[in-house]
Chains A and B, each alone.
Chain A
Amino acid sequence: MFKISMNEADKLFKAIAESDTLYLPIEKGDQIEFYEYHEGANVRLDALHTVKSAKDAFLPNCETMMEFKMEGKNIEIKEADRIAEEFVVFGVRACDARSFAILDKVYLSDPVDSFYAARREHGIVVSMACNRPEETCFCNKFDIDATNPEGDVVVWIVGDELFWEAKTEKGTALTEKVKSVLTDADSEPVEKQQKEVKAIMEKLPLNSMDMEYLKDADMMELFNSPKWNELYQSCLGCGTCTFICPTCQCYDIRDYDTGHGIVRYRCWDSCMYKDFTMMAHGTNRKTQMERFRQRFMHKLSYFPINNDGEFGCVGCGRCISKCPISMNITKVIKALGGDN
């Protein structure tokens, strides 16, 4: 294990940015997001969450896939380049780090999505342990250890020091590149903090939520639950929960006429939207209740059925703080029967 004083953290960022593009939580326009590092950036490692999750680094909210040149009856296709250079996503919380494994199950399963795969191949995840969980956190419900996140490198911020430990080959390689700014460290302060944070995790209000119920629940029984009709009532049908969610994975493919050709891009989409399933002759989910149910059924039932019981949620709590009408997955889980 290595360490560096937080006062000198900028040296570490510079060292990383020298060889690889570095993304980390930066405050801009009053909000904190994963932005590319630049000197003088307002880095905010103290924030529990960025607004958009770290999935943006691998599945960006908007990416060009190809361009078409149209001339008369002819069409020419030009594929967009896949990312080919290493980049580092620094400061990924344990919940977001787990979300990559969930997205992998979708995007790396046959047929592999080459845009996503290229980013996964070249992306290095430096995750950051939590030292101040909030009441909205429930990652522990998905066997995620907030004090020991998954990632190529894990960092812990204890007091005014940042501790660094490589976990994978990629992580070791990155460590080699930045070793000159790090010093050897004893892991004791980290272990002490882990114990303290775990004690706080024991007190989280959402610990009362029961996921076991859902593990054995029958898909059709959940689907037909009378609770959906109550739960969806105030839903505005916006896409906030979807777009801030680290595991929401649906996308739209759209064409955009730049005036010099057609750009075909992919962007995040939401099953909460009316047009999501709209076809020329109608839609199969006509009401907001059905659309609302789809989002939660997918996370709590459909996805687990197809993925060895793994839920499509990592307990980051973003939807709890961001839903305009304060409806969220924990209310759904409890209403469906998971209230202890």
Chain B
Amino acid sequence: MREIRELLVKKINELLENGTVDRVIGWKAGEFCYDVTPAVYKKEDNFDDFLFDGFCGANQSKYLIEETKKEGKILTLLKPCDSYSFNQLLKEHRIDREKVYVLGIPCHGMLDINKMKEQGITGILSITETDDVVTADTLYGEKTCNRKEVLLERCLCCKGSKHMVYDELLMPEEEEKEVETLDRFSKVAELEAMTAEERFAFWRTELSKCIRCNACRNVCPACSCRTCVFDNANSGVAAKVNADTFEENMFHIIRAWHVAGRCTDCGECSRVCPQNIPLHLLNRKFIKDMDEFYGEFQAGTDAETKGPLTAFTMEDCEPDIVYTRGGDK
């Protein structure tokens, strides 16, 4: 990753110097090795704390909504999976394409610090990584773990090395690189195999943990409404916790409906959830169903194709599909 960072900084400086862009949105090193914050750098800024390593998981596409409203042109560094979100935002006319220069950057999978901590690696002072092993220097001595075991959920089901959109690629040779990936629908299938009661209990337990911090919504590239219905005081549905009611649980279900067909499965919702609610499973259930009903579709592959829920075809399934799939009549 260190080599990529050096190559990246060189390229960024080149694009800033030759006037292609006047700023870049990147990742800024934090207090520790893993608390990386998205940040905008200008030409005159010091790039010493500019970082690219295994903790740059944050999908930065959504920041471009506001950034492309500003003067000048911004450079965005998209990992292959981020490029899907970027396309989807283009499709929804949220990003001004003219005001952004896309540099596709390679990704070898991003790390989840919480998974490391769950393995008992705590008191982390610094981290070094190779392709297979993550080594942490901690207050309690040196600890190592298998890199694959501490990848972010979305990286386990990687969409591949190919960028869906770019103006330039940092390492074109990486585009065709094979990546290991698991079946992203396996957990969904497990849930589908449950009885309705079991499934209800599963989601009740999970969704009841929700503290309504709205991090999932605020980070979600598909949640780009100017004013969210849950923020509209007159809508009657509050964006606040109301723990004694079932309404609480509906928030996530409504949100999943709203992003269905537009969700690229970027997994940011699950990454940011302070309560570790597997929100991506709701989205994946929708994706799986839509794939089955309307044919396979991946949101964000391009910026033009209409999603299955916004395009009508004669082949679309009829509403009674719900009965044939085992719903109550």
B242 engages A135 (CB within 8 Å) = no
Closest to A60 in B: B243
A309 interfacial by beta-carbon distance below 8 Å: no
A61 engages B214 (CB within 8 Å) = no
List CB contacts (< 8 Å) of A236-254 with chain B. Answer: 236-240, 242-244, 252, 254
B276 engages A236 (CB within 8 Å) = no
Q: How large is the interface on A (under 10, 10 to 19, 20 to 34, 35 or more residues)?
A: 35 or more
Bound-state CA distance A239–B63 (Å) is 18
B244 interfacial by beta-carbon distance below 8 Å: yes
B241 interfacial by beta-carbon distance below 8 Å: yes
A122 interfacial by beta-carbon distance below 8 Å: no
A29 interfacial by beta-carbon distance below 8 Å: yes
Bound-state CA distance A64–B241 (Å) is 12
B16 interfacial by beta-carbon distance below 8 Å: no
Q: Given A236-B219, A275-B233, does the pair A30, B63 have CB atoms closer than 8 Å?
A: no
B140 interfacial by beta-carbon distance below 8 Å: yes
Q: Given A48-B122, A239-B214, A324-B272, does the pair A275, B241 have CB atoms closer than 8 Å?
A: no
B320 interfacial by beta-carbon distance below 8 Å: no
Which stretch of B28-36, B150-158, B256-264, B296-304 is in the interface?
B28-36
Bound-state CA distance A52–B114 (Å) is 16
Q: Which residues from chain A contact B241 at a C-beta distance below 8 Å?
A: 61-62, 267-268
Q: Which residues from chain A contact B276 at a C-beta distance below 8 Å?
A: 29-31
B275 interfacial by beta-carbon distance below 8 Å: yes
Q: Given A238-B219, A322-B274, does the pair A134, B122 have CB atoms closer than 8 Å?
A: yes
Q: B206 contacts which of A29, A273, A326 (Cβ < 8 Å)? A: A29
Q: Which residues from chain B contact A206 at a C-beta distance below 8 Å?
A: 31
Which stretch of B37-45, B93-101, B103-111, B167-175 is in the interface?
B37-45
Residues on B close to A: CB < 8 A?
Answer: 30-32, 34-40, 58, 63, 113-114, 117, 122-125, 138-140, 205-206, 208-209, 211-215, 217-219, 231, 233, 238-245, 271-272, 274-277
Known A48-B122, A275-B233; 12 more pairs at CB < 8 Å: A61-B241, A135-B122, A205-B32, A242-B213, A244-B211, A256-B245, A267-B243, A268-B240, A269-B240, A270-B213, A324-B58, A324-B271
